[in-house]
Amino acid sequence: AAAIVVIAVAHERALVAEREAHRREREAHRRALDELAAQMRAEQQVAIVQMARGFEVDFQTQIARHRDAEKAAMVDARKAATEVARLRVDLKDAHAQLVALSVRLSFAEKGARAQPEFDAVTRAERARTSAGWAHAACGMSELAK
């Protein structure tokens, strides 16, 4: 009977030792899984940060492209406005020349008796043409800004 008790105690100790070994294995396995999960989370966070940086770079690139396109459009608009202003000045100048020719023709028909009146009209027309040029130059300088 004592031998059976000794065998039973030894068997019980072996079972306890086996359970303890299984518990240690499970604990080691759980720690390995926890480490793997932590490593995966860290890798995911790095990937998310890299992706966000990529999106930010793409966004900034698009903003720069749009800004450059807006600047180019403004330059084109300024050039077009300057050309329009120049054409308006040319048109005013041509109109002034036409009026002057008309006045000369009219006074030529009247003869020499109208010379003082012709001179007064010519001076007035020159003054209007000069004022037109000054106004156009002012407009061009505004457009250049």
pLDDT digits (tens, 9 = 90+) for 72-128: 999 999 999 999 988 988 888 888 888 878 877 776 776 655 566 666 766 776 677
Which pLDDT score is estimated for 13?
94
pLDDT band at residue 144 under the 50/70/90 scheme: low
Among 61, 60, 96, 79, CA closest to 144: 79
pLDDT digits (tens, 9 = 90+) for 3-59: 888 899 999 999 999 999 999 999 999 999 999 999 999 999 999 999 999 999 999
Which pLDDT score is estimated for 22?
97
Which pLDDT score is estimated for 134?
64
Residues 56, 63: Cα–Cα separation, whole Å: 10
Question: How would DSSP label each residue in 53-81?
Answer: HHHHHHHHHHHHHHHHHHHHHHHHHHHHH
Residues 24, 18: Cα–Cα separation, whole Å: 10
pTM value?
Answer: 0.47
